[in-house]
A = this chain, B = another copy of it.
Amino acid sequence: MKLYEKLADEIGEAIRRGVFAVGERIPSVRQSSQQHGVSIKTVLHAYALLEGRGIIETRPQSGYFVRELAAPQTMRSPAPAPSPPSEVDVSRLVLSTLRSIRAHDAIPLGSPYPDPSLFPWRRINQYANAIARRHSSWNLMDDLPPGNPELIRQIARRYAENGVPVDPQEIVITLGATEAINLSLQAVAKPGDTVVVESPTFYAMLHAIERMGMRALAVATHPTEGIDIDVLADLLGKQKVAACMVMPNFQNPLGFQMPDEKKQRLVELLTLHDIPVIENDVYQELYFGEARPTTLKNYDTKGLVLHCASFSKSLTASYRIGWAMPGRYRAQVEKLKFLNTLTTPSVPQVAVADYLRQDGYDRHLRHVRKFYRHQARLMSAMVQRFFPAGTRVSAPQGGYVLWVEMPPDVDSMRLYRAALARGITVGPGYMFSTRNDFRHFIRLNYSYPWTAQTEAALKTLGELVAEMT
C-alpha cells in the first residue's frame, strides 16, 4: 500500500469513527503534512483519493469538509410468488461465472471469495512446513473421520469462548463447508424431498440440493432480519418439508445478522415440526458488531441443528478445512464423510490446529473485521454515487459482499456480459434462486482494497446500468 493510500485510509477511518463529524472541516493540507510527517504532495494525493471516494469535499477558499453521505437506500427483497418446490440446476451458471471471474480477475467484484492477500498465508504455511519437516511420514489412518483430535479441540475451544456450548465429540472435520453442508443435507433428506431455502439463497445451498436431486422451496427473506418465520410457519402447516437450510449470520448475499429472538423462534418452530435445519455459518468470525453473534445451535434443545462452518472465509481458503456439528445426526454425517472422501488431508488439519493454538488468529480477525466494515461503507457509498436513481443496497452486518437491487429493467446477465467485456465481473442475481426472482440484482465483493481502478470499475458499472434503464 502506498503512503498516500495509507494516509487516506487513516483519515477515512477517523471520519468513520466520528473523530470528524459530517460537515466538519478536516485538518488543512499543511496541518496534516506536519501531523503525519509526510510531504504536502502525499497529503494532496490522499485528500484527492478521499474526495474521489465521496468521503470529503472541497469548498473553495474554505478547505476540506466531511461530506454528507447519502444514506444508502435499503432494499426489500421480493417475496417469492407461491410456487411448487422446484428442481435445482444453478451449478453450471455458477461454475461458468467463477471461471470467467478467474479469467478476468482485474476487478473481481463478482468473486465469492475474500481477497486472499488478507489471509495470514505465510504464518500458516510456516506451520505446515514445520510439520512436513518434523514427520518422516504420515499415516493416512491417523486422521480418519471425525478428524484430527487437536484441530477438533481448538474449534470447540473457540465456540466455548464465544458462548456456544459445544461437545468436541460432535465435530466432524470436512473438506470445507461445502462438504459439511452436502453431508448434513444427505444425512437428513433423500432425493426428491423438499428443502426450504431463503430467498435469495446462497447458491452453495442450492448446489447441495442439486447434488442430491432434491427440490428447493424458497421462503421470503427480510433483507435485515432473515427468513420470514410467519410465512415459514404457515407453509410447514400445509406442506411436507424434509429440511431447512439457512444462513442466519451475514447471509450471502444479503449480509444480515438474524436477531437473537428470531433465531430462537426459528429453532422452536422447526423443533415443533421435528424438521432438521442446516445452518451455514461460514462468516461467523467476520462480524461488524461488538461480539461474535449467536448461532441457531445456541437455541437447539433437540439436536436438530446441523451447524456447518469453515476457515475458508476467515483464515485460509486453499487449505479447505471445514467442519460440521450435526447434532443428533452426527453418526450419519461421520459415516457419510468416510464414504464421500475418506479423510481430509492431514497436514492442513494439523497446520490450522497449530496456528489456532500458537498464533494470532484473534488479532488477525480484529484487523479483517475493521477493514471489511470500512469497505462495506465505502462500497455502499460508491454504488449510491455511481448507479442510477432507484438503486438500493443491502446493509451488511458482517462478511464482505453487498447485494445491489438495480432498477427493474436491468437484466443482471446482460450487465454481467457487458461488464465482462470491460474486464469487470459482478455476481448476477440469477445465481441466487431456482427461478428468476433476482433478475435485476447483483452481488459485489468488497474484500479487495479500494483503488482508483475499483472506483473506475464502479463508475463503468453505473454507466452500463444507466444505459439499460
Contact = CB atoms under 8 A, between A and B. Distances in A.
Interface of A: 91-92, 95, 98-99, 101-102, 105, 111, 113, 116-117, 119, 121-122, 125, 128-129, 132-133, 135-142, 144-145, 175-176, 178-179, 182, 190-191, 207-208, 210-211, 213, 312, 317-320, 335-336, 338-348
Contacts of A347: 128, 318
A129 B141 CA distance: 23
Nearest to A331: B92
A138 B319 CA distance: 10
A175 to B, nearest CB: 5
B140 A318 contact: yes
B125 A140 contact: no
A341 B336 CA distance: 13
B121 A137 contact: yes
A140 B339 CA distance: 25
Contacts of A116: 137-140
A213 B335 CA distance: 13
Contact of A339 (B137, B211, B320, B342): B211
A121 B145 CA distance: 23
B336 A111 contact: no
Contacts of A137: 116-117, 119, 121
A324 B346 CA distance: 22
Contacts of A142: 102
B101 A121 contact: no
Nearest to A182: B340
A340 B204 CA distance: 10
A400 to B, nearest CB: 14
B178 A210 contact: no
Given A105-B139, A128-B347, A207-B338, 9 more contacts: A95-B145, A99-B144, A116-B139, A122-B136, A175-B341, A179-B340, A190-B213, A320-B343, A320-B344
A191 to B, nearest CB: 6
B320 A111 contact: no
Nearest to A342: B178
A133 B210 CA distance: 38
Given A128-B128, A128-B132, A129-B132, A95 B179 contact: no
**Most interface-central of A145, A178, A318, A348 (chain B CB within 10 A):** A318
Contacts of A336: 211
Contacts of A191: 190-191
B140 A312 contact: yes
Contact of A318 (B113, B211, B335, B346): B346
Nearest to A113: B140
A140 to B, nearest CB: 4
Contact of A176 (B144, B179, B339, B341): B341
Nearest to A111: B141
A143 to B, nearest CB: 8
A98 B345 contact: no
A207 B339 contact: yes
A349 to B, nearest CB: 10
Contacts of A117: 136-137
25 contacts: A91-B338, A91-B339, A92-B335, A95-B145, A102-B142, A105-B141, A113-B141, A117-B136, A119-B137, A121-B137, A128-B129, A129-B129, A138-B317, A175-B342, A176-B342, A178-B341, A179-B340, A182-B340, A191-B191, A207-B338, A211-B339, A211-B340, A318-B345, A319-B345, A340-B340
A345 to B, nearest CB: 5
A317 B140 contact: yes
Contacts of A91: 335, 338-339
A211 to B, nearest CB: 4
A36 to B, nearest CB: 28
Contacts of A175: 175, 341-342
Given A345-B348, A347-B318, A141 B102 contact: yes
Given A95-B335, A338-B91, A340-B340, A121 B136 contact: yes
* A-B interface, 4 closest residue pairs, ranked by CB to CB distance from nearest: A125-B132, A116-B137, A211-B339, A140-B317
Given A137-B116, A346-B318, A338 B95 contact: yes
A205 to B, nearest CB: 12
Contacts of A342: 175-176, 178, 320
